[in-house]
Amino acid sequence: QVQLVESGGGLVQAGGSLRLSCAASGRTVSRHVIGWFRQSPGKEREFVAAISWSEDIKGSADSVKGRFTISRDRAKATVYLQMNSLKPEDTAVYLCAAGLKSTLVATARGYDYWGQGIQVTVSS
């Protein structure tokens, strides 16, 4: 079992920044890839970024490249998503997830455990 808790969301103006945190715990957490996804009402869950604890897997979606950066702190078992130059279309519930399927890191079905999600709202 892996437990995930997101924090750091909120309301920000367009052009602003937020940093999301995903605190992971569980006996097997070090074996899992951690991913960030987002979901808006009426839309499918969208991949944002993913990272492994060894960083041999690290990547992000084209829609956020150059603006969002994923990183991890192994000692704290926490994955961060630094979001800069935020746009209104980035508004969504952001969820972190943990999965063992390294070949499916950009799809929701590659993940077995999910956090509850946190709201990010970008005003224009």
Residue 7 backbone dihedrals phi, psi, to 5 degrees: -155, 165
Q: What is the mean pLDDT of residues 86-95?
A: 97
Q: What is the pLDDT of residues 8-55, one digit of tens each?
A: 999 999 999 999 999 999 999 999 999 999 999 999 999 999 999 999
What separation in angstroms does the CA of 57 have from each of 43, 104, 111?
26, 11, 14
Residue 90 backbone dihedrals phi, psi, to 5 degrees: -85, -5
Q: Which of 61-65, 79-83, 104-108 has the lowest mean pLDDT?
A: 104-108
Cα angle: 108, vertex 16, 40; to 5 degrees: 30
CA distance 55 to 66: 18
